[in-house]
Structure 1
Amino acid sequence: MAIHPSAIIEPGAKLGQDCEIGPFVVIGPDVTLGDRVVVRSHAVVTGWTEVGDDTVIFPFAVVGEVPQDLKFRGEKTRLIIGKRNRIREGATMNLGTEGGGGITRVGDDCLFMTGSHVGHDAQVGNRVILANQVAVAGHCVLGDDVIVGGLSGIHQWVRVGRGAIIGAVTMVTNDVLPHGLVQGPRGELDGLNLVGLKRRGVVRSEITALRAGYQMLAQGEGTFLDRARRLHDETESDHVREMTDFILAASDRSFLTPK
């Protein structure tokens, strides 16, 4: 354990083995840090917050502060962060709200670059990357392996499916299909994240099925939901069924649909 003498560790905080706490850090009384967590100079970890093993929190990040929600009245809510995350300079993550389920949750092996923000009650999967200054609003759901380019914003209640990629300087106001590619100032669905699929080792037959399924969603008969239901019944591809399950699930937003 290495704790700088200028750091403030409030009574009640729980620190795991071999943590490193830098100068002028503040750790609140309801914080739990896992083993080998590093909190670098001037960072703040507060609220009812759990930080998983081997996570690194960089200078001036603020983790576990109260939500930016005028309805919040000081209720006891949480922020749960998984293992091996990198929370870079100036990044912020807020507690949940009672009306949103009470928990903001972050998975494992994520990278939150400089100035990125995770709003109240957001649910962020594993291996997610938020580039510089990305803002994820309250109640959003980001699946595993999502990448969001710099200076982009995700509107509240939006779901972004597993493996999707969002280009830089993009405002996303509707749900994004798993493995979708979104770009443009007012985010438009512009195909599949084929590069990401290949990098994750998805077999060619599944990628071919995804491309065919995407084309059916774009140009088949009936409404978008009709096409999704028909595709769900006809496909034998796990990746395509993941996409149709996402479309047919309950959502508070509409979808970005294929051109």
Structure 2
Amino acid sequence: MNVREVEIALYKDPSPRMLAACQNDSRQGVRRLAERLIRQQQAQALEEARVQELLLEEKKLWQKGYLLLAGIDEAGRGPLAGPVVAAACILPTRFELPGLNDSKMLTESKREKLFFQIQSQAIDYAVGSAEPAEIDALNILQATKLAMKRAVEGLTARPHYLLIDALTLPAVNLPQLPLVGGDRLSASIAAASILAKVTRDRLMVELDRLYPEYTFSKNKGYGTNEHMKVLRRLGPCPLHRRSFAPVKQGSSAL
């Protein structure tokens, strides 16, 4: 077989025997094929091990009989404008989500890819939000909990247990475990963080059409230098969180 034919055969049958034969082949190109495949297998094994580490908390609860675990996380606590968005996600015990991680650790393209994969593989998922007026009325912490509560209530399947990033939800009558940095410790929370982040980012792109001066499609409501300059010049729009100090200062500068 020529090198191309060997490559096709190797990827059809990446067995130890086939790999050993390629490693011992006299042709440098064939040996490189084997080396490349071995590196890919090692990287895949490391990624699978990393994702399995993200399931440590889930496995403990699965073993106790809590089979439907909802991971909960939010996006948008820090911005000056737009809603805070939360997601609840129930993953099956087996899934294929290579690259699953805290949404903040991922590129936009990777988040988008995982967003669709999570939606297609999750047992159930839902999104909830709290609007700027609710944030101003309640404060951002309570508004975040409200968004999370709405996400849980949006699930079709009633979860047996909640895994929540850092918070507890007293208003939700379900057993729950707060995990500080949960989006890096729990696969369910990581999946929820991606659903919340992508949903909110898309929403801010849509809202940019209503208030293009603030370029929400770029800054997603965060207080970038450009955003602050426009805020000082024009003042807040209905999407701004008027209880946030930078927005108040921008208003008083007019």
**If the length of structure 1 is used for normalisation, what is the TM-score?**
0.26
The structure richer in helix per residue is 2
Larger Cα Rg: Structure 1 or Structure 2? 2
Higher relative contact order (CA 8 A, sep 6+): 2
